[in-house]
Chain A
Amino acid sequence: MKQINLCIDGKEVQVPAGTTILAAAEVAGKKIPTLCFLKDINEIGACRVCLVEVEGARTLSASCVTPVSEGMKVHTNSPKVRRARRLQVELLLSDHEMTCPTCIRNGNCELQQVAEDLGIRDIRFTGGKKNSAPVDRSTPSIIRDPQKCILCRRCVSVCTATQTVEAIAATNRGFDTVIAPANGRSLADSPCVKCGQCVLVCPTGALIEREYVEEVWEALGDPTKHVVVQTAPATRVAIGEEFGYDPGSINTGQMVAGLRALGFDKVFDTDFTADLTILEEGNELLQRLNNGGTLPMITSCSPGWINFIEFFYGDELDHLSTCKSPQQMFGALVKSYYAEKYDLNPDDIICVSIMPCTAKKFEAGRTEMSVTGNTPDVDYVLTTRELARMIKQAGLNFNELPEEEYDAPLGISTGAGVIFGATGGVMEAALRTVYEVVVEEELPSLDFEFARGLEGVKEAEVDLKGTKVKVAIAHGLSNARRLLDQIKDGTSPYHFIEVMCCPGGCIGGGGQPIPTNTEIRQKRIDATYQADRDMPLRKSHENPAVTTLYEEYLGKPLGEKSHHLLHTHYTKRRRK
């Protein structure tokens, strides 16, 4: 590629043609402040915080969208640049709701950071104020607060391009502009799938998760309640980031210790029901393959994905596995098997889950997810971020916590359960089991490399003793849409498809630590496969607690009891 020579603040640099000034400055070791910019997602030069002075140019240039040119001389910190940047940020602050001390993003807010970086001490503007659009608390997953919105459009970009949901857009103009669903509707009344990718990219507190921390503190303080907790696979490779660990750290043992110290009666693991999912779903796949069932079969673990297919591809619901997600299988078992085994009244059990996900909060509230009919199977869903807050509120020093083990029996799991957290993980876990069940031989290698990594759609053909099974994996809903359109057109060549709603899979879920970007996703994925390698057992069908569960309670996969507790149905939806 053609190389371009330019000079940034007196330093000569050489970068490929097409590079932006912002990226070139990074090469030159200069950090230019940005606000609306989000690499690969939102590159629109809207906020004007990244302005630089280019010699010979009539005006200042937004460095995030201005490509370099030969011989360019750029100044990133001249008085003119500093004045212009301050002006931009002062204007943003002048109609921003400054409730910083009580804001969920206090201390992790990009607007705060940029104001600090620019040394803003006064706001000169007291004129126009933005609209008085109200806070939208309509969903159990996401809260939208237009008063904290700086109109950067990152959320619109991620909802439109990455997820192809388009639940929100800029409406009205000028001070009246609001990022919102159509015609003043609430999020609950829009096609929002509750994935929370908008929450991950929001620079301020305008899009946040709905917290259930207080409810869980109440439950923990209630002596009449037996409070159990489950932790999703992807939480253990991310929670450390909230306590200063580098992305890619595995903090399973400390997280367990932290949960125990918070007062949970039992600390269990969603990995257990991930293993269980593999037995149910693997058998379902074999049944469909052998009995001419609807193919391709698509995984159903990801609640954002379920919301998406119910909204946008309501005629293809037969393709979904009927398996509940691991979270909901867990909740159903806690209020049946576990309650019976330990002689507990299911109505006195509070089941909390720690999830990398905002859509899980919605899933837990689906009316069909209640085996007792009295209480939801999963009472409260906390994101990874919320758990970190509870640990901080309790005054625990996470970094000093010892490494502890999960409780038996619902805390026993395998490496196959852990990898559910990364895109391709469910597929790989399923293949490890399905192969050994069908071929009746031990797998030569447990690592299905094709299933790993951040490629949008991954596919392969797996040979099961002469039967060729074509499989595909998609993460991010724009990628899922590609596979769904094939199914709709009748041209899908696949037998089995894994779909995860969020880019990278659950490790990149809407409830994970902020920031979550491509680089961090990759590190969490690497950690996930490391956690898998660290497990003594790595195949779901070898999980002894799952075997016991079938012997003691469920009978066999796809049996009557399984059907009642572990499987569900789906509903075609339109906007209300």
Chain B
Amino acid sequence: MSVMIENLNWEEINPQLDALLEEYHGDKSALIEVLHKAQEIVGYLPEPVQEKIADGLNVSLSDVCSVISFYSHFSTKPKGKYHIALCLGTACYVKGAPDIVDRLEKELKLKSGDTTDDGLFSLEMVRCLGACGLGPVMTINGEVYGLLSPDKAVTTLKEITKA
């Protein structure tokens, strides 16, 4: 994880975070809003960013971490080069999405919400993508892949990474 933090361009990020915290300075109630905006700026919320937010809003680091870990939208790990969003909405669910989750987790050796150690893949569970007719459905970097089975999901991944 430390490698990933070093890869961040702090010279670019810091002024944006500073401006954000200037706007909400000392306003404890703005925590969730600030976390949203900070995640937009940085892409995720590593500890140095959490510390900056804690100092800026005058809240404790434990509090910041508590909120981040409660909401699945917030992530403390960067998204992978290939970000997979698998639909667990009702239609996809009854058509076998849970088996695809299991298979992808096993294949990629990660838990949903996580990123592989090499930074290549991240897996996220989402609710209805609005493509129920194609269920089970997933997106990879925004591109939609439907009518999946566990096998087809894995093959799709392999094809994309080869390309």
Contact = CB atoms under 8 A, between A and B. Distances in A.
Decide whether A and B are members of one complex: yes
B50 A183 contact: yes
B63 to A, nearest CB: 6
B66 A183 contact: no
A169 B66 contact: yes
A168 B65 CA distance: 10
A166 B50 contact: no
Contacts of B47: 182-183
Contact of B61 (A160, A173, A575): A575
Contacts of B62: 166-169, 171, 181-182, 190
A170 B65 CA distance: 9
Nearest to B72: A173
A291 interface: no
A172 interface: yes
B159 to A, nearest CB: 34
B61 A172 contact: no
Interface string A158-190: 001000001111111100000001110000001
Contacts of A181: 62
A182 B70 contact: no
B60 A166 contact: yes
B69 interface: yes
B76 interface: yes
B64 interface: yes
Interface string A12-32: 000000000000000000000
A182 B50 CA distance: 10
A166 B58 CA distance: 12
Interface of B (DSSP majority class): helix
Contacts of A191: 60
B63 A166 contact: yes
A173 B113 CA distance: 13
B51 to A, nearest CB: 8
Interface string A380-413: 0000000000000000000000000000000000
A220 B40 CA distance: 62
B60 A171 contact: no
B interface, size bucket: 10 to 19
A165 B11 CA distance: 32
Contacts of A173: 69-70
A171 B76 contact: no
Interface string B48-86: 001000000000111111100110000010000000000
B110 to A, nearest CB: 16
Contacts of A172: 69-70
A169 B76 contact: no
Contact of B66 (A167, A171, A575): A171
A182 B62 CA distance: 4
Nearest to B64: A182
A183 B64 CA distance: 10
A191 B51 CA distance: 13
A183 B2 CA distance: 14
A169 B50 contact: no
A172 B61 CA distance: 14
B66 A170 contact: yes
B58 to A, nearest CB: 11
B76 A183 contact: yes
A408 B84 CA distance: 75
* Of B47, B50, B64, B69, most A-chain CB atoms within 10 Å: B69
Contacts of B65: 169, 171, 182-183
B150 to A, nearest CB: 25
Nearest to A171: B69
Contacts of B64: 182
* Of B47, B50, B60, B62, most A-chain CB atoms within 10 Å: B62
B52 to A, nearest CB: 13
B114 to A, nearest CB: 13
A308 B61 CA distance: 16
Interface string B27-61: 00000000000000000000100100000000011
Interface in A450-507: none
A181 B60 CA distance: 10
Contacts of B61: 182-183, 575
Contacts of A168: 62
* Of B60, B64, B76, most A-chain CB atoms within 10 Å: B60
A182 B64 CA distance: 8
Nearest to A182: B65
Nearest to A166: B60
A181 B50 CA distance: 13
Interface in A530-576: 575
A169 B76 CA distance: 17
A160 B62 CA distance: 10
A172 B72 CA distance: 9
A191 B63 CA distance: 13
Nearest to B65: A182
Contacts of A190: 62
A190 B47 CA distance: 13
A151 to B, nearest CB: 13
B17 to A, nearest CB: 18
Contacts of B66: 169-171, 182
Interface in A185-243: 190-191
* Of A168, A169, A190, most B-chain CB atoms within 10 Å: A169
* Of A168, A169, A182, A190, most B-chain CB atoms within 10 Å: A182
B32 to A, nearest CB: 15
Interface in B131-159: none
A172 B71 CA distance: 8
Given A182-B50, A183-B65, 8 more contacts: A166-B62, A171-B62, A171-B70, A172-B70, A173-B69, A182-B60, A182-B61, A183-B76
15 contacts: A160-B60, A166-B62, A169-B63, A169-B66, A170-B70, A171-B66, A173-B69, A173-B70, A181-B62, A182-B47, A182-B60, A183-B61, A183-B76, A190-B62, A191-B60
Interface of B: 47, 50, 60-66, 69-70, 76
The 4 closest A-B pairs by CB, nearest first: A166-B60, A182-B65, A169-B62, A169-B66
